[in-house]
Each structure stands twice: as structure tokens, then as C-alpha cells.
Amino acid sequence: METTLRGVGVSHGVAIGEVRHMGTAVLEPPAKQIPAEEAEREQGRARQAVDAVAADLMARGNLAGGEAQAVLEAQAMMAQDPELMADVERRIAVGSTAERAVYDAFAAYRELLANAGEYLAGRVADLDDVRNRIVARLLGVPMPGVPDSDEPYVLVARDLAPADTALLDPTLVLGFVTEEGGPTSHSAILARALGVPAVVALPGAGELAEGTVIAVDGSTGEIFVDPTEDKKAQLEASAAERKAALSASTGPGATADGHKVPLLANVGGPADVPAAVEAGAEGVGLFRTEFLFLDDSKKAPSEEKQVAAYRQVLEAFPEGRVVVRVLDAGADKPLDFLTPADEPNPALGVRGLRTLLDHPDVLRTQLSALAKAAEGLPVHLEVMAPMVADRADAKAFADACRAAGLRAKFGAMVEIPSAALRARSILQEVEFLSLGTNDLAQYTFAADRQVGAVSRLQDPWQPALLDLVALSAEAARAEGGSCGVCGEAAADPLLACVLTGLGVTSLSMGSASIPYVRATLAKYTLAQCERAAAAARATDSAEDAREAVRAVLSGE
């Protein structure tokens, strides 16, 4: 009998297939004491296992490329965290085996993060995966992971570690469903990059029986268990219709009546550029420069290395617009040479622009590298600062750009509610705004963006979040500036219409989402988008906002 479950749809498309569960194993080693004379040998074993796991994660990242590479490199840094390693060695010194010391040290750190409710709590799944890989290596057992299957299937898991998600084979994994996670979790972001339909935050996902046929709608978040033949046909027809609409939709982003809405790509480095070009991106709306700095957490990359990497991306979009976000270090992207290790709450501490203003030499080198990378190119370079709180922040960043001789537009990211509320003030110092809706939702609702239990508050359809978007867009219009969205909200085709109706002037997203957004925008006029935006803001919940917009755009 067909039943319907609902999670959070995070990657478009429909997948129909049998359930296969992620392989799991209890990797808790026995607690036994070792003689003191064996401590040095056990410490060596621990260090070798940690280094091997870090090297494997880096290698997987190199294979995956793009956004996945940055995620896996961050995991490799987590594996080699000096404080964790020191704790492991202390535990071995008092009698633990290497595997038990690793297990207990990671467990202590995990509990600290989970109970503190910090931003880093969203990395608990990543931490568990690193621990399991190290312990499995020490125990000499296979690492649990993606099931071995010759037939295509739908993967079901409590959560997916980046190392597993990054190397999924889309020809075998038709789609995936997780019990944990949220719209902006690593699993969701990588699913969109892979183009695999996905639903996260589905209560009871682990109870779906192995071999059960399910249909996954990554757009609506619906899961149909034992779907009827009619339901399968209906879903497949809808998917075919969407695919045909995507193929027919080409060229610049615009509404049905010709209102232009440039569709840009979010990229993490040169490896993401080919997919952006193939998807027809009109430029880059968010160039995350962290990938360069994650190579070595001990020191910043040289100016020469930065120039070469930036120029690769700039050359790919002649006459196009490339918006570069300067280094956003801190919180879940700690760097040993920049960020303090003892902050009680890193997400609310020295992060983003605050970090750079505390280390002006790092900011100066990056801005100088961008200036040199753009020399002689016809590209329209724009540079923005993360985590701008007020006009003083915006002025400090603009002054630094001018001092570095940067010929570009200067902008501010709106990720903190104060920036949206005082957007007109900030626009006295910079020329454009870019809304990072992932962090803006996190700070507006006090809801960690990686925790599935609060995914309702991370939903970009929340009317309060749309109010802040509207405030920012209205300020930009009044001050003669532009206001884009580069958070994951822009990747939702229906929400893209709402954002356009709110006055947003450009949309930036993962490359795989661009065709969906382009095709949907082309179906509606600007007036329809404005009516949809007004209807969404008049509601009191994300779900009501969605329903109101569907009613407006369907003519009900």
C-alpha cells in the first residue's frame, strides 16, 4: 500500500528504486590497558593512522574536485587537529591502546561540540566519519560506507559523510535520503553539485526496509513508499516534462516579459568553472576563496599562488561578472595562523571580515593578488567582504580595497540581521550587497545550519527571512546599488521567482541548479513574481508561503 513521507527536498529531480542502506559497523574498540613500555609504539601507530586517513581524504578530494574538494580538505585538517592528537597521545601515555585513545578523544570532543550548541556542532557527522576511518584503520577492518551493488538503488542513511557523498556514482545511486541534515548541510550541497535527487531530515528514514521500492521527489521533499504504477508514471511524466523544459530554456536569465535576472554560479575554485560554463552561467556570483587557504592551515598562500588561481577563474568569463568573496575564516573553517582556538562560540566571535581586519597583512595580500589577476582582462571584477555587521565594517573593507589599488566594485555580504536592517547605511560605503541566505537564516532564527532538528527554521521560505531580503533589496534600489542572492535559496526555482519579485537583481547558485531556475523564471512575468513575493510575506510559516506562491503562480 502506497504511503507518503515528507522530508526536506534539497536537490531537484525524481528517483525511483529499491532502498539500500549505508553500511554501518560498531567501531568501538575494547577498553584494555597496555604496559607503559608499549606507549611510544602505540603513539606511533596512532600518528601513522591519522596521517594515512588525512592523506586518503585529500586524495578523495582531488578526485572529486569542486566544492567536494574543499569539504574533504577541511575533514583532513580535522583528522590532524593538533589538540585532538595531543589528547590521543595523553590517553595512550596512561595506558590506552591507540584505537581506544582515538575513540575516546574524539568522543570527548564530539560531546563538547554537541552540548555547547556551537556553530561547529554541525560538523559532528564529519567528526564521526573521521574517527571511524582512523579507528577502522587501527583495527584493520573495512570502513563502513556506500553499499556494493551492481544494480541502481536509492541510498538511505542516518547521514552521509562528505567522503562518501563526494564519490557517489550517479549511474548507480539514483538518489538519496537521510534522517539528519538540513537544506545547507554538506550532503545537500554536494547532492546538488552531483545532480542527484535528494531528501534530508526525513524522520524514520532508517526504518525503510532494505529492498523496498520508493520514489524520491527532490523538489517537494516527498517520499512515496511502494508507489503505485500510476504514481510512478505521474512522477516520471513530470520529470520528463521538466527535462524538456530545461532543454528548451537557454540564454540569459529573464522573466517571461523580459525583465533580466542574471543567473550566476557559486564556485569554490578553478575546478568548478567547466560546469558553470556548461550550465550557461552569466558569471560568478560567489567565488569562495577559502580553497586556497585550506591547503595549509599553518600559513597563508603566497601572493603568486593566489594570482594564478584567481586568474584561471577570471579568464573563464570574459566580459562577464565575477564576484569574489575574500577569505571567510573562522567558525567551521578554522585556520591555525588566523583564528583563535579557544573561542567559546566561534560563530559569534572573530569570523570573516573581523578576522581579516585583525590580520591586515593577509587581507592586503589577497586584495593585491586579485588586482594583479584582473590586469588586462575585460572581466567585471567585484569583491565583497563576509560577515559585515555595520557601516564601520563596510568602510574598513572599502578603505582596504582602495589602499591595495584594486579597480573593482566593492560590496558587502548580508549575513547578519543588522546588515539587512541598516542596509542603506552600509551602501554609503560600498556599491552592492549580496545576501548569504544560509548564514542569514542561521543568525535570524538562532538555528545551526547543519542540525536537522532545527531545519524548519533554516528553511529559506521563512517569511521573516523574506522580510530581511526585501529590506536589503529596497535599500539597494533606493541607493542605486545592486542586491544579489548567493545563498542556497537562489537554487530553488520557485523561490527564485519570489526573490525576483522582492527586488533581488541577480541570483547565484550551484551550477546544476541554473537550468531549473532559468526555465522556471521564463514562465512568469515580473508582475506575477511580485504578487508571489507579496503573498509569501503575508503568511506566517514557510509551508504556508510555499502554498501561497504555488496558488498565485498557478492562477488559483
280-296 burial by CB neighbour count: b if 16+ within 10 A, else e?
A: bbbbbbbbbbbbbbbee
β partners of residue 178 = 157
With a CB cutoff of 8 Å and minimum separation 6, the contacts of 243 are none
With a CB cutoff of 8 Å and minimum separation 6, the contacts of 51 are 80
User: Could you confirm whether 12 is annotated as catalytic?
Assistant: no
Q: Which three cell numbers stand for residue 459?
A: 528553511
Q: Name the helix (H) or strand (E) containing 155.
A: strand 153-157
Q: d(Cα 43, Cα 86) in Å, to the nearest integer? A: 10
Which DSSP string do the residues of 264-288 spell out, in sequence order?
Answer: EEEESSGGGHHHHHHTT-SEEEEEE
In this structure, are residues 472 and 21 in contact, taking their beta carbons and an 8 Å threshold? no
Q: d(Cα 98, Cα 134) in Å, to the nearest integer? A: 10
β partners of residue 260 = 254
Name the catalytic one among 12, 359, 401, 486. Answer: 486
* Percent of residues in the chain assigned helix, strand, coil, to nearest 5: 50, 15, 35
With a CB cutoff of 8 Å and minimum separation 6, the contacts of 26 are none
Choose among 23, 45, 26, 24: nearest CA to 34. 45
Contacts of residues 374-379 at CB distance under 8 Å and 24 or more positions apart, as own/partner, are 374/310, 374/311, 374/314, 374/407, 374/408, 377/311, 377/314, 377/315, 377/318, 378/318, 378/319, 379/314, 379/315, 379/317, 379/318, 379/319, 379/320, 379/321, 379/322
User: Could you confirm whether 486 is annotated as catalytic?
Assistant: yes
Q: d(Cα 255, Cα 497) in Å, to the nearest integer? A: 9
- Strands of the 8-11 sheet, one edge to the other: 3-6, 222-225, 213-217, 14-21, 153-157, 173-178, 198-200, 8-11
Q: d(Cα 300, Cα 362) in Å, to the nearest integer? A: 7
Torsion of CA 255, 432, 445, 335, to 10 degrees: 120
Choose among 297, 295, 245, 302: nearest CA to 268. 295
SS3 string, 182-240, reads CCCCHHHHHHHHHCCCEEECCCCHHHCCCCCEEEEECCCCEEEECCCHHHHHHHHHHHH
Q: d(Cα 15, Cα 220) in Å, to the nearest integer? A: 12
Q: d(Cα 415, Cα 228) in Å, to the nearest integer? A: 44
Q: d(Cα 553, Cα 493) in Å, to the nearest integer? A: 12
In this structure, are residues 8 and 234 in contact, taking their beta carbons and an 8 Å threshold? no
Active-site amino acid positions: 186, 486
